[in-house]
Structure 1
Amino acid sequence: MRAILIILGLVLLVGGLWVVFGHGSYTQTDTLLQIGSAKFTATHDKAIPPWLGISGIVVGALLTLGGLFSKR
């Protein structure tokens, strides 16, 4: 159980840091017009909100510290 908390905490911590430093983004595709089988689409790159990265850092740090200082 201890190892799972530490690993999960470190993954969240690294992911949160990755998002906060501006590397977190995802691609969204929207259909603009569809006539029959012809489809016009637009692809947008969107950034992951910084508050999500900060919360990942906080939760990851708490899980890692909880796993390190657990007595079991």
Structure 2
Amino acid sequence: MRIGLIVIGLIILAAGIWVVVGNGSYSATDTLAQIGSAKITATHDKAIPQWVGIAGIVIGGLVAVGGFVRKR
């Protein structure tokens, strides 16, 4: 279980760093107009907020340290 906590913590930590650096984004699709079954949609790339990355760094660090410190 210790190794699992360490690995999960490091993955969350790396994802948090990735978002803070500015590389995290997702696509959002908006419907602009709809007439019957015909739709006009637009897809936008939106950045993940930096507070999510900072929270990922903090939580990932705590989980990884918890894995290192955990005793059997």
The interval holding the TM-score normalised by the smaller chain is: over 0.9
SS at match of 2:42: strand
Cα displacement (A) at 1:25:
0.3
Identity between Structure 1 and Structure 2 (%): 64
> Helix, strand or coil for the counterpart of 2:70?
coil
* Structure 1 unpaired stretches of 5+: none
The list of structure 1 runs, each at least 4 consecutive aligned residues, that deviate by more than 6 angstroms after superposition, is none
CA distances 1:27-63 after superposition (whole Å, capped 9, x unpaired): 0001111111211001111000000000000010011
Which residue in 2 is equivalent to 1:16? 16
SS in structure 2 opposite 1:23?
coil
- Supply the RMSD in Å over aligned alpha carbons: 0.7
Per the normalisation by structure 1, the TM-score is 0.95
Q: Distance in 2 between matches of 1:37 and 1:71?
A: 60
Residue 33 of structure 2: aligned partner: 33
CA distance, structure 2, for counterparts of residue 43 and residue 59 of structure 1: 31
Q: 1:64 offset after TM fit, Å?
A: 0.4
For 1:22-61, what aligned pairs fall within 5 Å after superposition?
22-61=22-61
